[in-house]
């Protein structure tokens, strides 16, 4: 999932990602053409790694309920077609959820254009969250995309060998360190602190 995200960010093209859990899914379009939308990794605070190592089968995201993949795949196709009918295509802004009884804007002939659709099969429900692009994202941030453009396959090999490269390059490692330092300062307060 990481490499297609970096490739799409480097080329500034639309990418629609589908992620499946046991009974949940996410269909998400990644930001492009300056629309400020985040990618799949923008809400993570850790570099991507091997999701199958040292995890039980249900934690590996390899087992899902039988109807989940077709439902999520169908939503991904519908989102793609709806985006292709908007004048900004993949650069269209994200729509928030509206009541079914509300009239849709004229430039949405095939329906809303959400950033993401998160589905919960157990409740037969979906929500439409929007995530803004994170300037320290380990996949679509400017330093990561620049390193990929400059170094190509060598950069990908370095990341595969040590995913922490992404945290250092994107600035996420420094952010985590500053949070840890702030937390340590809070706990180091004197006995006079009021709780």
Cβ atoms of 98 and 113 within 8 Å: the answer is: no
Per annotation, catalytic residue among 32, 42, 61, 137: 61
Q: State the Cα–Cα distance between residues 138 and 144, nearest whole angstrom.
A: 7
Exposed e or buried b for every residue in 121-137, given b needs 16+ CB within 10 A? beeeebebeebebbebb
Active site residue 39: no
Alpha carbon separation from 40 to 4, 114, 192 (Å, rounded): 11, 14, 44
Phi first, then psi: what are they for 51, rounded to 5°? -85, 5
The residues annotated with a catalytic role in the active site are 61
């Amino acid at each position: 999932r990481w490499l297609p995200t970096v490739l799409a960010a480097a080329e500034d093209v639309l990418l629609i990602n589908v992620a499946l859990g046991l009974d949940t899914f996410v269909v998400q379009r990644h930001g492009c053409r300056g629309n400020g939308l985040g990618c799949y990794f923008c809400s993570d605070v850790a570099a991507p790694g091997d999701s199958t190592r040292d995890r039980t089968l249900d934690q590996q995201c390899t087992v899902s309920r039988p109807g989940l993949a077709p439902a999520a795949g169908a939503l991904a196709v519908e989102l793609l077609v709806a985006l292709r009918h908007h004048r900004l295509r993949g650069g269209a802004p994200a729509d928030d959820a509206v009541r079914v009884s509300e009239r849709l804007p004229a430039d949405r002939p095939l329906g809303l254009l959400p950033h993401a659709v998160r589905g919960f099969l157990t409740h037969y429900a979906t929500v439409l969250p929007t995530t803004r692009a994170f300037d320290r994202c380990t996949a679509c941030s400017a330093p990561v995309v620049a390193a990929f453009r400059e170094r190509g396959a060598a950069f990908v090999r370095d990341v595969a060998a040590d995913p922490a490269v992404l945290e250092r390059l994107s600035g996420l490692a420094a952010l985590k360190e500053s949070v840890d330092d702030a937390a340590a300062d809070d706990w180091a307060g004197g006995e006079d602190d009021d709780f």
